């Protein structure tokens, strides 16, 4: 077990180091002077220019610049956005709340709905499974931004059930959550149902049934636990997808958040902000995967003894 | 289901190659008097804010939309295959370096990576293709590496080596053809993903610039009229979804055949 955690930690550090290096490379591959790249399309005083050169060690050799950059990131200094006139870290911090709310709610909805659907449809009559897998196929094919537009057009503009803009309260969260949760739900349902169907053929399921346990009971108490490990793995992978989906959804519903921040930054060539968001998601990925490793132990006691 | 998928893909391909066969008008023919009209006999799928025919624009939009998805996939397959071969045949150190790189890219969120690339390169079709290829290439590298590792142990490769064939010849004539099938299947499924990614980026205003009739860009242009003219937003989306759906159906069929 300790070895497993150590491997995970070393991989995590590698991923983070990779993300920093990718950002640094992006900065230096951008055509034009690095100072101009950092400033983006803004105009600054010569003092600020001199400050940037000093901050990034731009008059030093490339290797020293890299070390300086790495050191700054390690201290949590993500640089400054010259478009927003504030440090990148605080700009991201200000937008984190609404995005976490959207992402958290979407993941929760996706997990609950897909678990329910998988339990209800696994090894049922052919038409139920056929309908379910047909819907899943559509679910993974629909682009998220289009789902969001459809939901907005139908439920906000045509029916007027939900507000079309903003992030105030529960009602404003419903449509964005559906848009973000739809592809995740379909992928999870698909995988869980396949897992459940394999598990339900195991001998221990028959044993449980002969003890007089109800069908639903077997599914919930015995079969479900067996599909949790691959499910949790998939959720870890889906985090990146969720962050990506949120960029378009936040824009369509005019919500504040990391997605909007990133999009504005891309438009204004505000590289420090985009780099900051990439680093943040890399950290998120690492944290989620460590949590998942610990969850494995909780789900499957057999893994606790294994090294 | 499969027949519909193949038929739809054939139709879209026809639209991409010869759009003039499917529609009589041109995608940029504006008619201010006919702006924002709903679907009718004259305008099958309605008109947009400039009075341009939505159906015609969807037909003409097939080429740029497909091109972005296919182009990104093709580039990713080439780069990924090269990296995969390098990792499998270049010795332990090279393998370690390439596979770590692959792991790092795969762990970063895809769309954000594309956005990072576009911040650096600026918007445009070529840059979108490049950005998508960058983050899809690692999956191909992984697949080709795994395949090559297995194939190089096979008897026929050993035979080729003992016959004194050159390394390059062995790789191109004996190793690659055997890794080809799973590569094609993965690429087929991934074309759909790449297509959606490209459409999303154009929707966000980072792909082809107006008045180009690309599906994602059309949705973006119709953004301000969603509340009054739903057809501008709905039909290009239907085109994207049906295309991706068809590609997925065909791709899964291929996948089951080789499994």
Q: Give the CATH number of the domain where residue B250 resides.
A: 1.10.3720.10
In sequence order, which residues have a C-beta less than 8 Å from that of residue B248 and are 6 or more positions away? A137, A140, A141, B189, B192
Q: Distance (Å) from the C-alpha of residue A284 to the closest C-alpha of chain B?
A: 10
Does residue A268 surpass a pLDDT of 60? yes
Number of domains in chain B: 1
Mean pLDDT of chain B: 85
pLDDT at A62: 80
Q: Distance (Å) from the C-alpha of residue A227 to the closest C-alpha of chain B?
A: 22
The pLDDT of A144-167, averaged and rounded, is 80
Distance of CA A173 to the CA centre of its chain: 17
- Give the whole-number percent of chain A exceeding pLDDT 70: 96
In a domain, B100, yes or no: yes
Write the pLDDT tens digit of every residue in A89-128. Answer: 888 988 888 888 899 999 999 999 999 988 888 877 788 8
Q: Contact at 8 Å (CB) between B31 and B52?
A: yes
The pLDDT of A146-159, averaged and rounded, is 84
Contacts of B199 in chain A (CB under 8 A): 143, 145
Mean pLDDT of chain A: 82
- State the residue range of the domain holding B114: 2-22+53-258
* CATH of segment(s) A93-259: 1.10.3720.10
Instruction: Name all contacts of B184-190 with Cβ < 8 Å and 24+ positions apart.
Output: B184/B254, B185/B251, B185/B254, B185/B255, B185/B258, B186/B139, B186/B140, B186/B143, B187/B73, B187/B77, B187/B140, B188/B247, B188/B250, B188/B251, B188/B254, B189/B247, B189/B248, B189/B251, B189/B252, B189/B255, B190/B73, B190/B76, B190/B136, B190/B139
| Cβ–Cβ below 8 Å for A138 and B245 | yes
Q: Which residues pair with B53 in a beta bridge?
A: B47
CA pair distance A27, B116, nearest whole angstrom: 10
B4 close to A (CB below 8 A): no
| Cβ–Cβ below 8 Å for B233 and A270 | no
| Cβ–Cβ below 8 Å for A241 and B200 | no
Which of A23, A29, A143 minimises the CB distance to B200? Answer: A143
In a domain, B83, yes or no: yes
In a domain, B105, yes or no: yes
| Cβ–Cβ below 8 Å for B110 and A244 | yes
pLDDT band at A307 (very low <50, low <70, confident <90, very high): very low
The segments of chain B whose pLDDT lies below 70 read 259
Q: Which of residues 157-216 of B touch A (CB under 8 A)?
A: 192, 196, 199-200, 203-206, 216
| Cβ–Cβ below 8 Å for A143 and B196 | yes
CATH 1.10.3720.10 in chain A is located at 93-259
Does residue A40 surpass a pLDDT of 70? no
Does residue A168 surpass a pLDDT of 70? no
Q: Distance (Å) from the C-alpha of residue A80 to the closest C-alpha of chain B?
A: 16
First to last CA, chain A: 4
pLDDT at A305: 66
Which of B119, B203, B219 minimises the CB distance to A274? Answer: B119
The pLDDT of A40-69, averaged and rounded, is 78
The radius of gyration of chain A's CA atoms, rounded to the nearest angstrom, is 24
CA pair distance A246, A235, nearest whole angstrom: 16
| Cβ–Cβ below 8 Å for B237 and A150 | yes
Type and span of the H or E element at A262: helix A258-267
Q: Residue by residue, what is the 3-state secondary structure of A196-207?
A: HHHHCCCHHHHH
B9 close to A (CB below 8 A): no
In a domain, B70, yes or no: yes
Does residue A166 surpass a pLDDT of 70? no
CA pair distance A53, B141, nearest whole angstrom: 38
Q: Contact at 8 Å (CB) between A205 and A199?
A: yes
B125 close to A (CB below 8 A): no
Q: Residue by residue, what is the 3-state secondary structure of B68-81?
A: HHHHHHHHHHHHHH
By C-alpha distance, which of B80, B78, B88 is closest to B145? B88
Which pair of structure tokens corresponds to residue A26?
Answer: 């992006």
Angle between helices A88-121 and A271-299 (to 10 degrees): 40
The pLDDT of A256-278, averaged and rounded, is 86
pLDDT at A46: 81
First to last CA, chain B: 20
| Cβ–Cβ below 8 Å for B241 and A247 | no
Q: Distance (Å) from the C-alpha of residue A213 to the closest C-alpha of chain B?
A: 36
Q: Distance (Å) from the C-alpha of residue B236 to the closest C-alpha of chain A?
A: 9
């Amino acid at each position: 077990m300790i070895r497993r955690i150590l491997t995970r930690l070393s991989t995590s550090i590698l991923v983070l180091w990779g993300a920093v290096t990718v950002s640094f490379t992006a900065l230096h591959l951008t055509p034009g002077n690095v100072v101009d790249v950092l400033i983006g399309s803004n105009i600054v005083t010569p003092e600020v220019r001199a400050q940037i050169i000093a901050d990034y060690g731009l008059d030093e050799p490339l290797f020293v610049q890299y070390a300086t950059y790495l050191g700054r990131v390690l201290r949590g200094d993500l640089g400054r956005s010259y478009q927003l006139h504030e440090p990148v870290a605080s700009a991201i911090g200000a937008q984190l709340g609404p995005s976490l709310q959207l992402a958290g709610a979407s993941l929760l909805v996706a997990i609950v709905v897909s678990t329910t659907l998988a339990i209800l449809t696994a090894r049922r009559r052919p038409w139920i499974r056929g309908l379910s897998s047909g819907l899943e196929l559509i679910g993974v094919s629909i682009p998220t931004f289009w789902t969001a537009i459809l939901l907005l057009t139908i439920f906000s503009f045509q029916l007027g059930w939900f507000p079309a803009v903003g992030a105030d309260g529960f009602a404003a969260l419903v449509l964005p959550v559906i848009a973000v949760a739809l592809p995740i739900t379909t992928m999870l349902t698909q995988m869980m149902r396949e897992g459940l169907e394999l598990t339900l053929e195991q001998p221990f399921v028959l044993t449980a049934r002969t003890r007089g346990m109800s069908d639903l009971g077997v599914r919930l108490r015995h079969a479900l636990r067996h599909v949790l490990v691959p499910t949790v793995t998939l959720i870890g992978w889906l985090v990146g997808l969720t962050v990506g989906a949120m960029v378009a959804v936040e824009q369509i519903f005019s919500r504040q958040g990391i997605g909007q921040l990133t999009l504005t930054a891309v438009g204004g060539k505000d590289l420090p902000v985009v780099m900051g968001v990439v680093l943040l998601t890399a950290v998120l990925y690492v944290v989620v995967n460590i949590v998942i490793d610990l969850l494995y132990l909780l789900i499957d006691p057999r893994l606790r003894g294994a090294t | 289901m499969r027949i519909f998928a193949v038929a739809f893909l054939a139709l879209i391909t026809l639209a991409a190659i010869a759009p003039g066969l499917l529609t009589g008008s041109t995608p940029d023919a504006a008619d201010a008097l006919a702006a924002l009209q709903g679907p009718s006999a004259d305008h099958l799928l309605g008109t947009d804010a400039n009075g341009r025919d939505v159906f015609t624009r969807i037909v003409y939009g097939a080429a740029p939309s497909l091109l972005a998805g296919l182009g990104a996939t093709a580039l990713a397959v080439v780069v990924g295959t090269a990296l995969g071969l390098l990792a499998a045949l270049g010795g332990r150190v090279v393998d370690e370096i390439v596979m770590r790189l692959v792991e790092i890219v795969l762990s970063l969120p895809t769309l954000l990576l594309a956005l990072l690339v576009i911040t650096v390169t600026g918007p445009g079709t070529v840059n979108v293709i490049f950005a998508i290829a960058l983050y899809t290439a690692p999956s191909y590298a992984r697949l080709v590496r795994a395949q090559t590792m297995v194939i190089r142990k096979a008897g026929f490769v050993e035979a080729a080596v003992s016959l004194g064939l050159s390394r390059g010849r062995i790789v191109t004539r004996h190793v690659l053809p055997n890794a080809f099938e799973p590569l094609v299947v993965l690429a087929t499924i991934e074309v759909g993903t790449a297509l959606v990614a490209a459409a999303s980026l154009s929707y966000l205003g980072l792909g082809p610039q107006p008045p180009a009739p690309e599906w994602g860009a059309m949705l973006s242009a119709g953004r301000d009229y969603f509340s009054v003219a739903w057809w501008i937003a709905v039909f290009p989306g239907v085109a994207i979804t049906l295309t991706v759906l068809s590609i997925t159906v065909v791709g899964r069929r291929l996948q089951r055949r080789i499994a």
